[in-house]
């Protein structure tokens, strides 16, 4: 589990593709302290397992499905990724509870800048829009954010970013056309899916109405 509070922007120092598995080697610096093989670390919001550790460089194996569904497919040696180590009991919970199970990707459609304020709009696959709402939370590249604006007709959402987020995460380098990982709120997904199933099933509707 994670919180969406990114702990560092770390460099990918190597990539190997073998037998359908991509191995990322990421220099975690001090974030590698006390890390053990088998531990979970979020890379751009994707929960990955530490497969090998060499000093402060940690290797993560990414299966083909994850490569296909996330922006890790576009990562190159020299790229930076948002890093968050898994939540431990007793840690401060400053964001939201995240699983690191990315729903899919979204694309930057426009950026509005006013002084130090930056509002980034994303084009979202239509099938995700039912799970999104104004002031609801999402994770973008593993960063816990609140939806500041929403346009259901255009399948777009916007988030407002403060200078700290722009400086410490991949979001500061976003431009129109950039692809980001999206994690939806699992509770919202469950509620919306359940209501849809009830509405589609006459038997369930009758059961709820008449007990």
Question: Are 109 and 184 in the same domain?
Answer: yes
At residue 201, the pLDDT reads 67
Residue with tokens 């990918």: 12
Q: Is residue 62 part of a domain?
A: yes
pLDDT tens for the chain, 211 residues long, are 898 999 999 999 999 999 989 999 999 999 999 999 999 999 999 999 999 999 999 999 999 999 999 999 999 999 999 999 998 765 666 667 888 999 999 999 999 998 888 999 999 999 999 999 999 999 999 999 999 999 999 999 999 999 999 999 999 999 999 999 999 987 777 777 777 776 676 665 665 565 5
Give residue 186's pLDDT.
Answer: 72
Indicate the residue among 85, 116, 133 that finishes a domain.
85
Q: By residue range, what is the domain housing residue 21? A: 8-85
Contact 60, 26 (CB under 8 A): yes
Domain presence at residue 22: yes
Q: Compute the distance between CA of residue 43 and CA of residue 24 in angstroms, rounded to an integer.
A: 10
Is 49 inside any structural domain?
yes
What's the CA gap between 94 and 110, in Å, rounded? 28
Six token digits for residue 127: 């099938």
Output the pLDDT for position 210.
58
How do strand 21-27 and strand 143-151 relate by DSSP bridges?
A: unpaired
Total domain count for the chain? 2
Which residue in 112, 195, 194, 106 sits closest to 155, CA to CA? 106
- The pLDDT assigned to 134 comes to 94
Domain membership flag for residue 162: yes
Give the pLDDT of residue 207: 59
From 57, 85, 113, give the residue that closes a domain: 85
pLDDT at 203: 65
Same domain for 125 and 68, yes or no, is no
**At a CB cut-off of 8 Å and minimum separation 6, what does 137 contact?**
96, 144, 145, 146, 147, 185
Q: What's the CA gap between 182 and 137, in Å, rounded?
A: 11
Spatial distance between the Cα atoms of 179 and 95, rounded to a whole number of angstroms: 22
DSSP state of 54: E
Residues 64 and 10: their CA atoms lie apart, in Å, by 22
Residue 122 shares a structural domain with residue 158? yes
- Helix axes of 202-210 and 186-200: crossing angle, nearest 10 degrees: 100
Q: What is the CATH classification number for the domain harbouring 130?
A: 2.40.30.20
């Amino acid at each position: 589990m994670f919180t969406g509070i990114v702990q560092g922007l770390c460099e990918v120092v190597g990539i190997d593709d073998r037998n359908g598995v991509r191995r990322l080697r990421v220099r975690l610096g001090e974030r590698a302290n006390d890390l053990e093989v088998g531990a979970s670390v979020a890379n751009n919001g994707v929960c990955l397992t530490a497969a090998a550790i060499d000093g402060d460089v940690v290797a993560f194996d990414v299966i083909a499905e994850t490569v296909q569904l996330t922006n890790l497919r576009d990562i190159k040696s020299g790229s930076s990724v948002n890093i968050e180590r898994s939540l431990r009991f007793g840690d401060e919970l400053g964001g939201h509870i995240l699983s690191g199970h990315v729903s899919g990707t979204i694309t930057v459609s426009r950026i509005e800048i006013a002084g130090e304020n930056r509002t980034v709009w994303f084009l979202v696959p239509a099938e995700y829009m039912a799970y999104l709402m104004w002031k609801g939370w999402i994770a973008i590249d593993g960063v816990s954010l609140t939806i500041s604006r929403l346009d259901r007709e255009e399948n777009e959402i916007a988030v407002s970013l403060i200078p700290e987020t722009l400086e410490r995460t991949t979001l500061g380098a976003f431009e129109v056309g950039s692809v980001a990982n999206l994690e939806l709120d699992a509770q919202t997904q469950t509620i919306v899916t359940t209501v849809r199933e009830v509405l589609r099933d006459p038997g369930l509707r009758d059961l709820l109405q008449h007990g």
